[in-house]
């Protein structure tokens, strides 16, 4: 349990303003707390030995999303090496269908925000740590060089790839232009880690949490929403009503899901290997 005096210092309030500190569910990697102040509740993520830049990168991503004026995110109240403090969002699923449809519409508007090119505006700390950068007009090269290949190299160094799987991954990466046409790929502002656990319904209002913001192809974002349980049908209806995906998007969906499966293979192990192999078989035979 973190000390109330530390929380007071981070928030620049008096320790007497802190009424209670309660541990809550907040993911498997960090400690999470709801802190009741005299004026409101706040949410704290804490880790005694975080990945370098972990919380600063997340805070920068939340601020970028907020600045788009399209999606709702918790307000960043304070951030430091070991902690991130946000407004507390009280989840209420009674209007989840309405909130999901609104989220789909808002996400489509987020994806329509103009960005200068494909890249990592705040860096990346999920899977392989990467510094901010990688500004390029070519979405295929960004996906190949900045997303897939660093992960494949890290997995190989970690011993998570046998010779056959590594060779087939490299073969697929080399042939990506058979399925992904960079002339059709438009850079968008993306949440970057949008699975079903990273949104909340607070009544009819949807909130996005835990971003890994990047400038990428919106198809990669939508592909991830269909992994790990997926989103309600109303979410996809709202998105399609606002900015429909191309009819041949399903042909590319597994290629974009590959990145997220490789991240999970890197972090969590071989239980994600069979899903990677199925994608390799689909495109390489």
User: In angstroms, rounded to a whole number, what is the distance separating the alpha carbons of residues 200 and 180?
Assistant: 32
Is 70 exceeded by the pLDDT of residue 232?
Answer: yes
Identify the sign of the CA torsion 271, 179, 108, 204: negative
pLDDT at 18: 95
Residue whose token pair is 């990047």 = 214
Q: How large a percentage of the chain has pLDDT more than 70?
A: 99
pLDDT tens digit sequence for 65-74:
999 999 999 9
Predicted confidence at residue 145, as pLDDT, reads 95
Angle between helices 233-242 and 96-111 (to 10 degrees): 40
Domains of the chain plus CATH, in order, are 4-87 (3.30.200.20), 93-284 (3.90.1200.10)
Give the residue numbers annotated as catalytic, written as ranges.
193
pLDDT given at position 217: 98
Region 166-173: mean pLDDT is 98
Closest CA to 119 of 54, 190, 68, 219: 190
* Mean residue pLDDT across the chain: 95
pLDDT at 75: 98
Lowest mean pLDDT across 114-128, 204-218, 227-241: 114-128
26 vs 49: CA distance, rounded Å: 16
pLDDT at 162 over 80: yes
Mean pLDDT of all residues in 90-113:
96
Confidence band for 282, pLDDT divided at 50, 70 and 90: very high
Band (275; pLDDT cuts 50, 70, 90): very high
Render pLDDT for 243-272 as a digit per residue (tens, 0 to 9). Answer: 999 999 999 999 999 999 999 999 999 999
For residue 27, name the pLDDT band (cuts at 50, 70, 90).
low
Extract the tokens encoding 256.
């974009």
3-state secondary structure of 84: strand
**pTM of this prediction?**
0.95
Residue 204 has pLDDT above 70, yes or no: yes
Strand 118-120 and strand 133-136: pairing? antiparallel
């Amino acid at each position: 349990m973190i000390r109330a005096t530390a929380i007071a210092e981070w928030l620049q309030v008096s320790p007497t303003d802190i009424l209670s500190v309660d541990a809550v569910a907040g993911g498997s990697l960090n400690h999470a707390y709801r802190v009741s102040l005299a004026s409101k509740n706040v949410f704290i993520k804490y880790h005694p030995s975080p990945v370098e830049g972990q919380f600063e990168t997340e805070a920068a991503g939340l601020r970028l999303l907020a600045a788009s004026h399209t999606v709702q995110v918790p307000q960043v109240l304070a951030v430091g090496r070991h902690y991130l403090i946000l407004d507390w969002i009280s989840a209420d699923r009674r209007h989840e269908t309405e909130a999901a449809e609104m989220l789909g519409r808002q996400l489509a508007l987020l994806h329509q925000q103009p960005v200068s090119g494909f890249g990592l505006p705040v860096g990346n700390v999920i899977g392989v740590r990467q510094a901010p950068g990688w500004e390029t007009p070519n979405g295929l090269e960004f996906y190949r060089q900045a997303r897939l290949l660093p992960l494949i190299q890290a997995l190989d160094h970690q011993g998570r790839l046998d010779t056959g799987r590594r060779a087939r991954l490299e073969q697929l990466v080399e042939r990506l232009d058979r399925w992904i046409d960079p002339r059709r790929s438009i850079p968008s502002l993306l949440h970057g880690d949008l699975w079903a656990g990273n949104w909340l319904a607070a009544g009819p209002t949807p909130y996005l949490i835990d971003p890994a913001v990047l400038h990428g192809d919106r198809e990669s974002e939508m592909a991830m929403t269909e992994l790990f349980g997926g989103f309600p049908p109303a979410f996809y209806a709202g998105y399609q009503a606002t900015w429909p995906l191309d009819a041949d998007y399903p042909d590319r969906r597994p290629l974009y899901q590959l990145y997220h499966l490789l991240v999970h293979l890197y972090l969590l192990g071989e239980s994600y290997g069979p899903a990677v192999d199925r994608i390799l078989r689909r495109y390489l035979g």
